[in-house]
Structure 1
Amino acid sequence: MTDTPTKTDEKPAHRSGFAAAAREFVLIVVGALIVSSILRAFVGQMFIIPSESMENTLLVGDRVVVEKLTDVKRGDVVVFEDPGGWLGPEESGQKRGSIGRFFEIVGLLPDSSHGHLIKRLIGMPGDKVACCDEKGRLLVNGQPLDETSYLYPGDAPSQMEFQVTVPAGRVFVMGDHRSASGDSRVHLSDVDANGNNPGDAAFVSMDKVTGRAIMIVWPAGRWGKLGVPDTFKAVPAPGPAPDKPSISLTPPPK
């Protein structure tokens, strides 16, 4: 008497191949999302320009790439978190829903800029920034800036007079469209919730700076690099940065 071999159920080869391909696809997608998230967190990300404050350098709706590896410097266009009380409805990007926010976080959608601002970095820690000289030019460490290459046509460097020394760990920023920018200048008289530290909110903490905008990538017709204007190369080195800002709402000596 011979034993009859027991039959075993075999999965069709095409099903096994499909499952393997599906697993591989999921692993690729998950890996891509992880890499994209890491790049967004530590290397760079894309932002949508929400307001007119940087015209005509940046227009509403422009997509810009912001890199996070390089230290920011005087003259850079920088993205930063709201230092507190700066953002009005017109300057804050529209907040996306949970699905849109997920795709922002993993880097598949440009950041809507909600809670962020973009301005030009005018003063580094220790810099003395003043408006204005006898020719109406902004001064940084006594050096007048030629802002014609980026200032909005028809705008003055500033309609308000001031002299400030930027404190340690902070920066002083201004929009290129000065008449439509709620930047460091307009917060020089702000006080905190307890009525103390006047003007402290005008200076952006370095740890709130996301990075520097290096390129416009959309719309296609506006593609181009963003750099530091030549006028900033002539600015002298700053002095020691004080712990507290020095603020005077008076013009510098002429």
Structure 2
Amino acid sequence: MQHRPGRTLGIWAIVLLILGVALNVAAIMLMVKMFKPVYYAGDAMLPTLRDGDELLLKRDPAEVRRGDVIGFTSVAWQRDGVSIGRVVAVEGDHIAYAKGDKTLTLNGQPLDEPYVLGGAPGDPGLSFAVSVPRGRVFVLGDNRGNSADSRYYPELQYGTLAVSDVAGVRVPEENVLLLTLGAVSTVGTLVLPVGIGLGISARVVRRRNAAAVPAGPVWGAVHVEES
């Protein structure tokens, strides 16, 4: 079988184009499925988050831990959309604060909270002592002076939230999975122009080869001389 000029280039062009599209689509689908972008509104999480900041939440976290910044929805708290707060205690923990204390206490020990605005962990001085029930978390804002959080709902399971209300856990920009998906998408994006370039090259090679083939006799034609 005669080898068609540019055929190899054309095959590679198709392979790279398919690969580039597949990598981009896969990365985007996984990012949409696993992560949720949220714009934060308000100042309850100062200084960690400012009004208008964008953060990325990992959906369906396997575990919600102390110190996690979470997005949550709560019908009981009459919140519209996704709210943001910080988990300071999880199931089985005893979290407490008495007006005038320098820190919250977690399981009887002072709780170090370097993220709290102004170093005022109990502002505005609402006292509480809560043993967190199973499957629930105790949530506070980092700006304790202006945060409608677990302290204000003691009649609702001691102010705790169900873990099932957690819409996602904030992930840092250097998250390994996020970086991996970004790298996959970048590779796919870089592959696409290479595939397009090879496709153009294959077409050029075919045209040049067609132009270089000399015209031969027409088979079956009969030449007759007139007398």
Into which bin does the TM-score normalised by the smaller protein fall?
0.5 to 0.7
Shift in CA distance, 170/154, structure 1 to aligned 2, threshold 3 Å: closer
Deviations 1:82-109 (A, max 9, x none): 242343xxxx5xxxxxxxxxxxxxxxxx
Q: Contact conserved, 1:132 with 1:139, CA < 8 A, in 2?
A: no
CA deviation map 1:11-50 (0-9, x unaligned): xxxxxxxxxx9xx99xx59x96686355333x22221111
RMSD value, Cα: 2.9
Alignment of 1:206-245 (within 5 A): 206-215=163-172
Cross-structure match for 1:136: 102
Unpaired runs of at least 5, structure 1: 1-20, 93-114, 189-197, 218-254
**1:52-201 to 2 correspondence within 5 Å?**
52-68=43-59, 69-87=61-79, 115-132=81-98, 135-147=101-113, 149-153=114-118, 155-158=120-123, 159-188=125-154, 198-200=155-157
How big is each residue's C-alpha offset from its partner over 1:47-90, in whole Å with a ceiling of 9 and x where there is no partner? 11111110001111111122234422011111111242343xxx
- The number of residue pairs the alignment matches comes to 156
Aligned residue for 2:31, secondary structure, equals helix
State how far apart, in whole Å, the 2-side matches of 1:128 and 1:49 are.
Answer: 29
Contact 1:55/1:152 (<8 A) preserved:
yes
| Match for residue 202 of structure 1 among 142, 159, 183 | 159
Structure 1 residue 51 and structure 2 residue 17: aligned?
Answer: no
Deviations 1:116-151 (A, max 9, x none): 11111011011111003864310111111122x211
Shift of 1:202: 1.9
Q: Which residues of structure 2 form unaligned runs of 5+?
A: 1-13, 175-227
Structure with the higher helix share, 1 or 2: 2
Which has the higher Rg, Structure 1 or Structure 2? Answer: 2
Choose between structure 1 and 2 for higher RCO, CA contacts under 8 A separated by at least 6 residues.
Answer: 2
8 Å contact kept, 1:84–1:201 = no
Identity among equivalent positions (%) equals 29
